């Protein structure tokens, strides 16, 4: 069932009968619903779910359901869909509807009595190619071979958002891994969903992977490989928490890079720490003071004042193996802290072969942990 437009209007307030723009009764046949617009505009004055955009009685079987637009716009008693249970949001069919929408198609004159009243104008309702349908309902424009439109009428549409499908591999830059076979760009949005092939960014910092807004859905994982880069020009929304965004690190110091304008994004940032007595790299310290913020201070002077540092020149707090030499205590750099009894200083560091975690409750103690540069 391809390229149909169904609109259910009229007054449904007076009864308790249900209505559906799409109704599928059984799962014993092959069901394929793509490139359609299903709108149910009826309401009811009783508190029952009566009016559905799509109602699929039986789950399972051979079913394909995607690239559709569903809308249940009634004030009361309307529901987007049913598939084993009522569905208020997408997907209606579990595990599908990746490229479907639940938006107003903006019909010319909804409720009108001629077909032309149901020509949409929503510019993002992009259908999928390859269905074999080449013309629209009234023999008008030929179906686009690149971005055909959903519904019975062909009109101009173009995608502004791309969804990761992982159909081919885990490579961000592979077109077949995105729902419209186009890799996102600086002017388009990207959505990462929970699929088997989780995306990995492998683009160099000079030519990073890029998108406008990035959404990582619950359960999804996006990884930026070591030495590679991703640039998000707009807003980054991570609904998957710390495990949903992973920035990798390797021994040569070429860590993954995320260029991003959104504050307080959850994620996991790996840091490769090399042990041994001959290393010359800096081992970063995580400084956690319950009464201070590492984000305050626009200048070096502000940071020194706000964090109570004396020997700070703008670099990160660090542990230097080369400065330590034979005495590991000499490797500490840039830190002086004064804490009352109720404050906790937590330092994570790796001098030589040992990863140590020190948690101390300091009582009116000032301790010089560093060697001045």
Query: pLDDT of 329-343, one tens digit each?
Result: 555 454 443 333 333
Q: Which of 66, 90, 118 is the last residue of a domain?
A: 118
Whether residue 323 is found in the same domain as residue 289: yes
Whether residue 302 is found in the same domain as residue 259: no
Using CA atoms of 224, 225, 228, 234 in order, give the dihedral in degrees to the nearest 10. 0
Residue 358 inside a domain? The answer is yes
Residue 229 inside a domain? The answer is yes
Residue 317 has pLDDT above 60, yes or no: no
Whether residue 261 is found in the same domain as residue 174: yes
pLDDT at 355: 32
How many structural domains are present in the chain? 3
Q: Which of 118, 149, 176 is the last residue of a domain?
A: 118
pLDDT at 64: 97
Task: Express each pLDDT in 137-195 by its tens digit.
Answer: 988 889 999 999 999 999 999 999 999 999 999 999 999 999 999 999 999 999 999 99
Residue 110 inside a domain? The answer is yes
pLDDT at 111: 93
Q: 167-184: buried (b, 16+ CB within 10 Å) or exposed (e) per residue?
A: eeebbbbbeebbbbbebb
Residue 32 inside a domain? The answer is yes
Residue 202 inside a domain? The answer is yes
Residue 172 inside a domain? The answer is yes
Q: Which of 216, 246, 269 is the last residue of a domain?
A: 269
pLDDT at 140: 83
Residues above pLDDT 70, as percent of the chain = 72
What pTM was computed for the model? 0.69
In angstroms, rounded to a whole number, what is the distance separating the alpha carbons of residues 89 and 106?
19
Chain mean pLDDT for the chain: 80
Whether residue 265 is found in the same domain as residue 303: no
Whether residue 308 is found in the same domain as residue 260: no
Whether residue 364 is found in the same domain as residue 288: yes
Whether residue 302 is found in the same domain as residue 347: yes
Whether residue 114 is found in the same domain as residue 174: no
Task: Express each pLDDT in 31-78 by its tens digit.
Answer: 999 999 999 999 887 667 889 999 999 999 999 999 999 999 988 889
pLDDT at 152: 97
Expressed as residue numbers, the domain containing 238 is 161-269
pLDDT at 80: 97
Task: Express each pLDDT in 67-108 by its tens digit.
Answer: 999 999 988 889 999 999 999 999 999 999 999 999 999 999
pLDDT at 41: 95
Whether residue 298 is found in the same domain as residue 349: yes
Whether residue 113 is found in the same domain as residue 171: no
Cβ neighbour number for residue 366 with a 10 Å cutoff: 10
Residue 142 inside a domain? The answer is no
Q: Kindly state the average pLDDT of the residues 255-262.
A: 90
Task: Express each pLDDT in 109-133 by its tens digit.
Answer: 999 999 999 999 999 999 999 999 9
Residue 358 has pLDDT above 50, yes or no: no
Q: 11-23: buried (b, 16+ CB within 10 Å) or exposed (e) per residue?
A: ebeeeeebbbbbe
Residue 275 inside a domain? The answer is no
Whether residue 261 is found in the same domain as residue 299: no
Whether residue 26 is found in the same domain as residue 104: yes
């Amino acid at each position: 069932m391809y390229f149909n437009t169904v609109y259910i209007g009229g007054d449904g307030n007076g009864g308790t009968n249900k209505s559906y723009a799409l109704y599928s009764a059984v799962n014993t046949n092959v069901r394929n619903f793509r490139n359609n617009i299903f709108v149910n505009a009826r309401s009811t004055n009783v508190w029952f779910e009566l009016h559905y955009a799509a109602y699929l009685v039986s789950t399972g079987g051979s079913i394909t359901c995607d690239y559709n637009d569903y809308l249940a716009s009634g004030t009361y008693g309307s529901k987007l869909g049913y598939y084993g249970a009522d569905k208020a949001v997408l997907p209606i069919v579990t595990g599908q509807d990746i490229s479907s929408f639940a938006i107003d198609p903006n019909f010319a004159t909804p409720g009108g009595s001629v077909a032309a009243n149901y020509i949409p104008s929503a510019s993002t309702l992009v259908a999928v190619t390859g269905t074999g349908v080449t013309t629209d309902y009234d023999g008008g424009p030929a179906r686009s071979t690149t971005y055909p439109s959903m519904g019975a009428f062909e009109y101009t549409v173009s995608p502004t958002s791309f969804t990761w499908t992982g159909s081919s591999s885990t490579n961000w830059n592979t077109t077949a891994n995105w729902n419209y076979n186009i890799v996102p760009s600086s002017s388009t949005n990207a959505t990462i969903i929970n699929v088997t092939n989780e995306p990995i960014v492998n683009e160099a910092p000079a030519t990073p992977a890029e998108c406008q807004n990035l959404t990582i859905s619950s359960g999804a994982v996006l990884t930026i490989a070591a030495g590679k880069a991703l640039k998000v020009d707009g807003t980054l929304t991570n609904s998957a928490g710390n495990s949903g965004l992973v920035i990798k690190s390797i021994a040569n110091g070429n860590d993954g890079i995320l260029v991003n304008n959104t504050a307080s994004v959850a994620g996991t940032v790996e840091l490769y720490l090399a042990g041994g007595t001959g290393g010359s790299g800096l081992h970063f310290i995580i400084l956690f003071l319950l009464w201070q913020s590492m984000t305050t201070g626009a200048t070096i002077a502000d940071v020194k004042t706000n964090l109570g540092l004396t020997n700070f020149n703008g670099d990160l707090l660090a542990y230097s193996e080369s400065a330590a030499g034979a005495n590991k205590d000499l490797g500490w750099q840039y830190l002086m802290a004064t804490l009352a009894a109720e404050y906790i200083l937590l330092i994570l560091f790796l001098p030589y072969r040992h990863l140590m975690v020190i948690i101390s409750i300091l009582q009116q103690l000032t301790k010089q942990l560093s060697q001045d540069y």
